[in-house]
Amino acid sequence: MAVLPIEMLGSEVLRRRAVEVAEIDETLRILIADMFETMYDAEGIGLAGPQVGVSRRVIVVDLQREDSQPFALINPRLVESGRETDKAEEGCLSIPGVGAAVERPDRVVVEGLDTDGHPIRMEADGLLSRCLQHEIDHLDGVLFIDRISPLKRRMVLQKYKRAERAGGASSR
Ligand SMILES: [Zn+2]
């Protein structure tokens, strides 16, 4: 297993639509193991393929709670979104050191495959719902800064650039 370099804001792969995984093979399993290691190393709770430069539809999630289990999801799809929304602070390992409150549907239903190729259906609310939406966004080339107001986005980006210039933004 290996900690992979994380793609940062400005990297083209973060803006591309990732391709469906056609075959769950050893290469993909190694990628998933490496993505977990990379996520834990960066102290994140979710990571998507494009964030490690791999434009394939795979995510890993670990909310790091006693009642939660780490999991990988292949070709995840949002099949239902709740009508209610909630707003909470988000950060991103590809835009370290900054965060913003993002409004999203409060609950979602997501379908995909596990690492054995078995179909999974997850109903999620709270942090898990938010995390799944954030990671699936990555597979479509969307970042959380795209989901906030232009004014707020400008502020976040200014802060990010300042931190970057100051030499190495602290990650979260
Ligand atoms: Zn992210």
- Whether residue 104 contacts residue 83, with contact meaning beta carbons closer than 8 Å, is answered with no
Residue 128 Cα to ligand 1 midpoint, Å, equals: 14
Percent over 90 (pLDDT), the chain: 92
Q: Token pair of 92, please?
A: 């991103």
Mean pLDDT of 50-67: 96
Check whether 171 has a pLDDT greater than 70: no
CA 9-106-124 angle, 5° bins? 90
pLDDT in tens, 60-89: 999 999 888 999 999 999 999 999 999 999
Residue 22 Cα to ligand 1 midpoint, Å, equals: 24
Mean pLDDT of the chain: 95
Instruction: Give the active site residue among 66, 90, 135, 164.
Output: 135
Residue 25 Cα to ligand 1 midpoint, Å, equals: 25
Residue 157 Cα to ligand 1 midpoint, Å, equals: 15
- In three-state secondary structure terms, 131 is helix
Give ion ligand 1 contacts, CB < 5 A.
Answer: 92
CA 7-135-33 angle, 5° bins? 70
pLDDT band per the 50, 70, 90 thresholds, residue 11: very high
Residue 124 Cα to ligand 1 midpoint, Å, equals: 18
Check whether 117 has a pLDDT greater than 50: yes
Check whether 131 has a pLDDT greater than 50: yes
**66 tagged catalytic:** no
* CB proximity list for 96: less than 8 A, separation 6 or greater: 8, 163, 169, 170, 171, 172
